[in-house]
Structure 1
Amino acid sequence: MNQRSTEIVQLLSKEKDEITVSGFAEYFQVSQKTIRNDLKEINTILNQNQREEVLIQSGGRINPPENFKESLSLLLEGDFYNYKLSRKERRQAASAMIVNSADYITLATIADHLFVSRATVINDLKDIKAFIREGNLNVISHANKGLRIEGAESEKRNFLLNLLRPSLSIYENHKNVVAEHVSVQAGDSSVIQKILGEQEQRYKKYLDDSSFREIILYLRIMVNRNQMGEFLEPQPDTNSENYMFALDTLKYISQYCDVVTTEDDIKYFSRFLDGVRYMNNSRFSKNTVIIQMITRQYISGISSELGIDLNADYDFFENLSNHLGSIFSAPPIDYQEVDVINEVLEDNQDVLEAVNNQMFVIYQYTERQLNEIEIKYIAVHVCAAIERKKNKEVAFRVIVACHAGIGTSRLLLEKLKRHFKFRVVDVISAHEAMSIEPNAADFVISTVPLEGCSLEYVVVSAAFNDADYIRVGNRIDALRNCRNFPVRMEEDGLSAKGLIDEIHPLVYSMIEPEEKAKTFMKELRRVIRDYFKQSVENETEVLSPYLHHLLPAMNIEVDVECEDWKDAVRKSGEKLVERGYIESRYIDAMIHSIEEYGSYVVLSKGFAMPHAKVEEGSIRLGMHLIRLKNPVPFGVEELDPIEFVCCLSAIDHKSYLKAFFSLVNMLRDAEYRQMLHEAECPEEMAGIIEKYEHSNS
């Protein structure tokens, strides 16, 4: 049996309270189907030996036979600890202990730490030495002292990093064997994350999520090794552009983690930073809008095939467009196969089939065929969107418990409120969980396991990624099966966003000039969100203005006369030049780009969005929309002629995204397209756009 099955046997033999499949799934952070398969494996052994089997009753309750303890020696082969780790897991954990040791380490120490016999370690030693040699290190044996490692400190750190790296994926949620059994990291993770995040902002070096987690892992290994007195060997000089980034990061880590860092640490870390992936926030090209438009088409196709409308999920659109952008980057990311993805998709084969069926939408952009794991990651994004939609329809009362302070709990709270119709009744520290009254809420969402909690709970990461969406959805499904929860939809009539949306048009109609109304609304939002215990503005609102913010009446013209597509592009950009949003060369760049690459700016029937790169003259984020008196062809037969031309001045690949999302959704709606066509003036068109966004947000 595997480690999890063995632990299940031990828990069944000791636990007196009711145990459920969903409870085990949550404890081990795997799917309920995986737990059922583990129980099936246990029952197979019991059945083969003519013993009573473990029963799974209604509601997923697990009922071991009364004489279950008599079967322990059979199931655990007489020694639980010998079978707690597989041979491969023992090799990894033992190797980490040897490499991480600052002195000799004995076989007896390894055996005691891993709860195995000394003979077991001796039998594993050949494999352990071979495994360590793969990391350019050698194991030296001394008859009276034990084992020690011979090799460069940088290789030791690389070895430990590679052992822990598989646990970095956002979808890999079960415990890493090495991390569980060997302490190779030090320093407060939340402090190091904060330091790294601040330096990202300072140096405008924006890391992708996997690189951010990898750097945190390396830094915690570095802190551990330096605190042990194991410093890097002399490093070669470097002219890395990340040298100052590395220097300032390590300066603050030295201060806040109470550790000495050296010049060699800075040199090594700067080269480490050279090798990770960045999301350059100034990155913007013709491909950016193409990928986002294809994402929009792909979501529409998936929605139609599955019969679930996911078109209004902005987070799905943003996450998937970013994901597709990373897939088609050069070089492409090497996505790792992880168990939890397969577990999620085992229960969602219809989603995986739909994802494969709709791949033709993506392949119209690229000739590169995606491999199986890349397609599976897309399917997980779809599964998460389905969970978000399903769970927005349920008004559970939840308590949020967090172990890492008010900042982390506030971040988690905001993400929950964005994606679920939860009624968050309280936010507490994890240690307060034992004081929760049984009827205080329907369940608890926590960043750590809770001891002595009277309510059922689900453990999530503070970052609340797609795997967490699915995990919370699985917990809700389990709760629905076990208990009859009231829907309580009537409680959701009043919210911060709903109140702001109702007040917004009234304020702008009664207060003039517009700048005064904006100032008033900003302060009013702060008061309302403070009352509802929300942040004044969430990140999306700050960084991503809505379409009606970018297209007020002053940025719209109707019945513009144009000779051809070049004239239309030029006239769509002239007002942005006048107002200082773009330089005049930006217009020339748009025209040249269309001549060179074709009419990629045509987004849908009758609509084009010309744009150029940031470095070709973009100054500020803005849009200018013109409706042509006489539509002109842009060279896309099935979408010509073009009636609407909207010049986009982008300053990065993200800040315009919410506006773009609203725009392409509007273009899918025949009624609103017709209203834009019939509008008599810019003010009417601006009102149509704002009304659309309020009715669909």
Structure 2
Amino acid sequence: MINKRSMEIIQTIIDQERYHKPCTLELLKEQYKVSERTLRYDLDNISEFLEQQGCKALGYDNDGSIRLNNPIYTVQKAVSQLDFYSMKLTKDERCAVIAYDLAAADQPLTMQKLADSLYVSRSTILHDMDETKKIVSDFDLKLESSKKGLYLTGCESDRRILMMNFYQKAELRQMDQRQTADEQMIDQIVREEIRSIEKQDSLFFTDESYSDLLTYIFIMQEEIKKDRLVEIDYVLRHPSMDAIASEILKKITDALHLKYILTEEYLLSDILYNLNYLRRNDIDENLMRIQIAADEFINAVAVDLNQHIYRDFQFYQNLINHLQSTFKDIPMASDSDDHLLQRGVTDNPEVEAAVRKNLPILEEIVKRSLTNDEIAYITIHVCAAIERSKQRENSLSVLLVTNGGGSAAELLLMKLKRYFRFHVLDVIPEHIVGIYDLSQVDLIITTVPLDVTECETVLLHPYLSDEDCILLGERIETIQSRKKNGAHNRTFLRLENIIANSIVRSSLNKDEIYVNIISDLRNVFVPEMKDQMALCNLLQGHIQVDVEADTWEEAVQKSAAPLLKEGYFNSIYVEQMIQSVYTNGPYIVIGPHFALPHGTPNRGQKLALNLIRLKHPVTFGAKAFDPVYFVCCMSTQDKESHLKPMFHIMSLLRDKECLQALIEAKDAAEIMRILFDYEQML
């Protein structure tokens, strides 16, 4: 018999050989947290298994490294032919499979039938019942018994979610892992839909979330065929994914000639919402509160750690994306690497302490305590932001390709940080490399093999040795040196041309020559702000000073009036802004003396801002941030377009001198100049 750990050890040895890295007992002891004696017993079992499959036993080098004495594909073929009978499941794994079988069954199952299915005794199944009851109760289902056998009661939606979580364990019993014709069709439809979604909606799936979605759809179509439909009173909780769910469901039901049921669409929408994404662009009812809380959390952690990470817009975006995926209301199985997660935490205790200290800011939104894994992921994002703050002066632009989630990528970067610095442009999954613009990329660091010729590529294993990092550092140093020399040459030639042209168009007057050179250099190196998302562009013609208002409600209405008149939104949007404060409190007061009223992110016609400075400040009930002098109405059209200006506003409010200058500014033009100068420094 071969157990799950032995199977994982085989895969680790394969991975190490694939990446030309030694696999030592020390590595396995650290990864699996077991004694050397236990590991040697596992390795003996593996050798015995390989010999039974017609392969050679494991070999050992003089330095103690473990190696395969067979080609990798031969060992993989032997493992793929391993049947369920040969697998020694733990009690937890066995109970999970029992729960799946009961959920999938059309009729009650006897203990003997379950025992036969799992190749164990009826007595073993009997001893597993208490744990099985606990598992199904976690999914709001109940284990019942009758003369005919055991069965589950509860909602169909909860039954589906349980099956989705334990599908992979149950499928180990299938000797023939090839897809049926229907499954192949579903795979093709889902793959095409996801490509379209990623291209049009900037919603990037991890490989794990793609697999989860495919699993659910396999289960869904089987249940519909059995006429076991989602309960008629199922309530849609997350409409932000409804359009995507509708499109996928329509194509699946048309292809398989199934009836389209609205509640099936609702559950699929909620499943999509609860998946993990590398990047997401959907909008839910908590989104704006998450975005504001994320900035408050970053600022608090930055103060505690004395790190300048509050100006890191990439960190802000990553944290929002991660938090939106964290706040789930449907349980999803996770394949996170606990060992790597905990390394990220134990190596950075001061960061973890700062994260834990400021968790109430985030837990106020999710209305529950965050788990240790969730805290570990946030800690890793903070560590990555700290590294980026040290690396800003470096010009090397790196694209990271990984089939893990965003936090898995951050874990890899944390391992690399000891040796070199670079700027990560983006983190993407393997399947979108072909459509990604690589024109600004100097180097691709990837954990999966790629066929890319546009720029240099380095293939790494997530478990990096120090020697690997040093070799990679030498590679990066070479690229940096080549790029730096080229940049210096181009900059010198550009300066030479600018100065020469300035002198040519000047008279012999030294003052005129000086003025022309400075003017020309300023026009080139400090150009007019062209970023359409810059505050000074969005607020052009949308600043009023000395506006009179007696209450905060009137202040919100007056800040909205110009945008309402110009058609950026309707009167319902204004009412929604005020109602949001009544419902959620004064969370729109995002800093000292500054309120940012807004509606639901997709209700505005276009992104726009209108800023008023009150003649007499009003109170919103925002404690330390009252009284409010500035009210900036924001029209939002989607999830992300307003993030940069909002981030700049929140950064500005932390600069006491800049805020005081805005309060004392004589007119709208002076406010514009202050905003322009501040954004130039960001």
1:342 offset after TM fit, Å? Answer: 5.2
Count of residues in correspondence between the two structures: 539
1:660 aligns with 2:656: no
Which residue, out of 215, 218, 228, partners 1:217?
215
Residue 151 of structure 1, CA deviation: 10
8 A contact 1:302–1:355 mirrored in 2: yes
Q: Which residue of 1 aligns with 2:271?
A: 276
Say which of 629, 635, 644 aligns to 1:643. Answer: 629
Given the superposition, is the C-alpha separation of residues 672 and 423 from structure 1 closer, same or farther in structure 2, using an over 3 Å criterion?
Answer: closer
SS of 2:35's partner is helix
- Which of 437, 456, 468 aligns to 1:479? It is 468
TM alignment of 1:622-637, pairs within 5 A: 622-637=608-623
What residue number does 2:460 align with? 458
Task: Determine the C-alpha separation between the residues in 1 that align with 2:6 and 2:313.
Answer: 40
The offset of 1:688, in angstroms, is 3.9
Q: Is the 8 A contact 1:292 1:321 kept in 2?
A: yes
Q: Secondary structure at the match of 1:312?
A: coil
Residues 240 and 270 in structure 1, CA contact (< 8 A), matched pair in contact too:
no
2:337 aligned with 1:340: yes
In the aligned structure 2, how far is the partner of 1:247 from the partner of 1:670? 49
SS at match of 2:644: helix
Give the match for residue 299 of structure 1: 298
Q: Is the 2:157–2:231 contact (alpha carbons within 8 Å) kept by the matching residues of 1?
A: no
Task: Give identity over the alignment, percent.
Answer: 23
- Structure 1 residues 552 and 391: CA distance shift in structure 2, 3 A: same
Q: Do the aligned residues in 2 keep the contact of 1:397 with 1:422 (CA within 8 Å)? A: yes
- What per-residue deviation string (whole Å, max 9, x for no partner) do you get for residues 399-455 of structure 1? 98899xxxxxxxxxxxxxxx963699xx999999xxxxxxxx9875154599xxx98
Distance (whole Å) between structure 1 residues aligned to residue 623 and residue 4 of structure 2: 61
Where do residues 18-417 of structure 1 align in structure 2 (5 Å cutoff)?
20=21, 36-38=30-32, 41-42=35-36, 64-65=61-62, 86-87=89-90, 122-123=119-120, 162=162, 165=165, 178=172, 183=177, 186-187=183-184, 189=187, 191-195=189-193, 214-220=212-218, 231-233=225-227, 249-250=248-249, 252-253=251-252, 260-263=256-259, 269-270=264-265, 272-273=267-268, 276=271, 278=273, 288-321=287-320, 323-324=322-323, 332=329, 334=331, 339-341=336-338, 343-349=340-346, 350=349, 351-362=351-362, 368-383=368-383, 385-386=385-386
Distance change (3 Å), C-alpha of 1:576 and 1:642? same
Q: Tell me the distance in 2 between the aligned counterparts of 1:564 and 1:155.
A: 49
CA distance in 1, matches of 2:174, 2:433: 22
Matches within 5 A, 1:564-579: 565-579=552-566
The reply on whether 1:551 has 2:538 as its aligned counterpart is yes
Q: Deviations over 1:511-546 (max 9, x none)?
A: xxxxxxxxxxxxxxxxxxxxxxxxxxxxxxxxx962
Q: Which residue of 2 aligns with 1:410?
A: none
* CA shift in 2, pair 1:124/1:458, >3 Å: farther
Give, in whole Å, the separation in 1 of the partners of 2:326 and 2:8. 38
Contact 1:341 1:376 in 2 (8 A): no
CA gap of 1:478–1:395, structure 2 versus 1, over 3 A, is farther
CA 1:17–1:675: 2 relative to 1, 3 Å: same
Aligned to 2:416: none
Q: 351-360 vs 79-88, which deviates more?
A: 79-88
- Read off the aligned partner of 2:590 and give its amino acid letter: L
Asked if structure 2 preserves the Cα contact closer than 8 Å seen for 1:290 and 1:600, the reply is yes
Stretch of structure 1 that moved more, 599-608 or 304-313: 304-313
Alpha-carbon distance between aligned partners in 2 of 1:276 and 1:624, rounded to the nearest angstrom:
38
Task: Answer whether contact 1:397 1:442 (CA < 8 A) is retained.
Answer: yes
**Residues of 2 paired with 1:159 and 1:593: CA distance?**
36
Provide the rounded CA distance (Å) in 2 between the counterparts of 1:303 and 1:677. 26
**Alpha-carbon shift at residue 646 of structure 1 (Å):** 0.8
2 CA distance for matches of 1:336 and 1:14?
23
Aligned to 1:75: none
Deviation at 1:595, TM superposition (A): 6.3
Amino acid at match of 2:469: R
Deviation at 1:649, TM superposition (A): 2.7
Cα 1:10/1:347, change in 2 over 3 Å = closer
Q: Residues 671 and 63 of structure 1: is their aligned pair in 2 closer, same or farther, counting only changes over 3 Å?
A: farther
Contact 1:93 1:181 (C-alpha < 8 Å) held by counterparts: no
Report the counterpart of residue 685 of structure 1 in structure 2: 671
1:395–1:489 Cα contact (<8 Å) kept: yes
- Structure 2 match to 1:610: 597
1:178 positional shift: 3.8
Superposed displacement of residue 648, structure 1: 2.0
Query: Unpaired runs of 5+ in structure 2?
Result: 44-58, 70-77, 106-115, 237-241, 275-279, 404-420, 435-441, 495-530
Whichever residue aligns with residue 625 of structure 1, its letter is L
Distance in 1 of aligned mates of 2:92 and 2:366: 40
SS in 1 for 2:375: helix
- Using structure 1 for the length normalisation, give the TM-score: 0.56
Identify which range, 129-138 or 4-13, moves more after superposition.
129-138
CA distance in structure 2 between the partners assigned to 1:631 and 1:360 by the alignment = 29
Cα distance change, pair 87–394 in 1 and its aligned pair in 2 (3 A) = farther
Q: CA deviation at 1:69?
A: 8.6
RMSD: 6.4
Residues 301 and 358, structure 2, Cα contact 8 Å, conserved in 1: yes
**Structure number with higher relative contact order (C-alpha < 8 Å, ≥ 6 residues apart):** 1
